[in-house]
Structure 1
Amino acid sequence: MEEIAVRYIHFIGILFLASTLAIENMLLSKSMSSHSVKRLVLIDGLYGVSALVTLGAGLTLWFAVGKPSEFYTKNPIFHAKEGVFLLTALLSIIPTVFLLKYRNTTAANLSVPQRIIVIKRLEILLLLILSLLTALMARGYGILSS
């Protein structure tokens, strides 16, 4: 039952991560009001929390419950998946820092640099790649026979 609970938490974390990322992409625009920036800061915070929940549950699955850790450790697709997750996390720092810097802006409209918008779109693409790598792992791809 412990494994099921952790897998469920992992799955819910992924759903919240995808949902908040989609909402961020919908709300993000080249010019934003101070109210919209504050709303986006809140959503971005939830995105970060969902990423931490997903990571924590994933690490628990890897090292504590479920399949033996070797199942993951010896799988190159798993390593690619974790690399994509890490890249996504590192990329997300840039928009987060931007939003936190301007969260208390009093300007009528804040001009959002194009790179912030591109990074958020790239995060969506990386999430799709993560999903593909997960599906490949679930079907047994990447398992190296001894």
Structure 2
Amino acid sequence: MHDFGMAALHHVLVFGLAIMLAMELALMRAPVIDVRRLVRLDAGYGITAVLVIVVGVTRVLWGAKGWAFYRDNPAFWTKMGLFAAIGLISILPTVAFMRWAKAARANPEFQPTAAQRAGVLRCLLLETGLLILLVVAAAAMARWPLV
């Protein structure tokens, strides 16, 4: 039952990441950017990502399949690489949101430029694409070895 509970929690957290990423994309496409909301949402995204890692490590170390299953599974390492890439890319929007929040505190009328918005939007879209690939890698990982 422990393994099932950890798997279910891991999946719920990953769906949470996807939902928060979709919400960030929606907020970025609004005519007027709600910077404070973006900052809060991005903080939730970061916290959820950390929880995904904690639960994932717990599954790898103490789950039913054991470390040997993951160690020798190329789909697992693909998934880890994709998660790391998403994490690194997500730094750019986070830094932008923090800068925008500082600017909005100084000037309540502040709005990011079209170029700033476009740069962040590109990062969020790239994260989304990589997250889709991560889910595919997770499905392959669970069925390893593929027959």
Counterpart among 97, 100, 103 of residue 102 in structure 1: 100
Check conservation: 1:85, 1:130, Cα contact below 8 A.
yes
| CA displacement at 1:38 relative to structure 2 | 0.6
Q: How does 1:29-44 map to 2 (within 5 A)?
A: 29=29, 32-33=32-33, 36-44=34-42
Identity of aligned residues (%): 30
Q: How does 1:50-65 map to 2 (within 5 A)?
A: 50-65=48-63
C-alpha distance 141-115 of structure 1, shift in aligned 2 (>3 A): farther
Structure 1 position 117 matched with structure 2 position 117? no
Aligned residues: 141
Counterpart among 136, 141, 145 of residue 132 in structure 1: 136
Return the TM-score normalized by structure 2: 0.87
- Return 22-31 or 123-132, whichever deviates more: 22-31
CA distance in 2, matches of 1:78, 1:142: 13
Higher helix share: 2
CA RMSD across the alignment? 1.9
| Residue identity in the other structure for 1:14 | V
In structure 1, runs of 5+ residues without a counterpart are: none
Q: Write the deviation string for residues 34-91 of structure 1: whole angstroms up to 9, x where unpaired.
A: xx01111111111111111111111111112221101001111111110000000010
In structure 2, runs of 5+ residues without a counterpart are: none
